[in-house]
Chain A
């Protein structure tokens, strides 16, 4: 199958270090922001989301930060493991009436060095 991740921004980290993946979004009217992990040859998997009226949300080993002033979203992964190696996408979810639109960003390739 196709290999996704070519020509993507790449973040290379050592196993055990913390990772920070950044994303700039465009629509200030988005209601939710979501981070997905995509491993080679698979569909995106949900990691964590955050409502637009929040600025921080924590999950297991992951934290999402939202800065609406500069339209910036980040994903922090604590104690990065080799299994975290994948492409990470941020996505904006906007709804209103009969519309639910999920729009993806370009993605970042996270490479974890053992």
Chain B
């Protein structure tokens, strides 16, 4: 049981390049989400998904795309990287109760992906 796995751990991009941050979980969680964390700040929600085939925007979705073709994977795509996207990115997943809600103690975070755009 690996939990939530993010790759790559570190990445340097040039402005205008595109790339995909990978996130995979092996806990059969319905709910997955992506956050970015800038220095001295909390995590801000980029996109989230309540199940395969369903995605929605969070607080800061501009410049990012997501898809959810399987329960296990939730990749985050940077379409045209900008220096403002330099940040630490965290993926999270959670078990969803039959009522459709998640609870705090079932949310698991990955170790983070450090992205620098120059």
> Would you give the shortest CB distance from B44 to chain A, in whole angstroms?
7
Total A-B residue contacts, Cβ distance less than 8 Å: 94
CB-nearest residue of chain A to B51: A98
Tell me whether A41 is interfacial, beta carbon within 8 Å: yes
CB-nearest residue of chain A to B105: A46
Q: Which residues 31-81 in B have Cβ within 8 Å of A in the complex?
A: 31, 33, 35, 37, 39-45, 48, 50, 54, 56, 58-59
Q: Which single member of A6, A91, A105 contacts B39 (CB below 8 Å)?
A: A6
CB-nearest residue of chain A to B91: A43
Please measure, in the bound complex, the distance between the C-alpha atom of A5 and the C-alpha atom of B10, giving whole angstroms. 19
Contact code string A74-90 (vs B, CB < 8 Å = 1, else 0): 00000000000000010
Q: Which single member of B37, B45, B96, B103 contacts A4 (CB below 8 Å)?
A: B37
Is A101 touching B48 in the complex (CB atoms < 8 A)? yes
Give chain B's interface residue range (CB within 8 Å of chain A).
35 or more
Is A4 touching B88 in the complex (CB atoms < 8 A)? yes
CB-nearest residue of chain B to A93: B104
Q: A34-B104, A93-B104 are in contact. Are A99 and B56 (CB under 8 A)?
A: yes
Residues of A whose CB lies within 8 Å of any CB of B are 1-8, 31-32, 34, 41-46, 48-49, 89, 91, 93, 95, 97-107
Residues of B whose CB lies within 8 Å of any CB of A are 4, 10, 31, 33, 35, 37, 39-45, 48, 50, 54, 56, 58-59, 87-88, 90, 92, 94, 96, 100-105, 107, 109-112, 114
Q: Can you spell out 21 A-B residue pairs with CB atoms less than 8 angstroms apart?
A: A1-B10, A2-B88, A4-B41, A4-B88, A5-B40, A6-B39, A7-B39, A48-B104, A89-B42, A91-B42, A91-B104, A93-B103, A97-B100, A98-B50, A98-B56, A99-B56, A100-B94, A102-B92, A104-B44, A107-B40, A107-B42
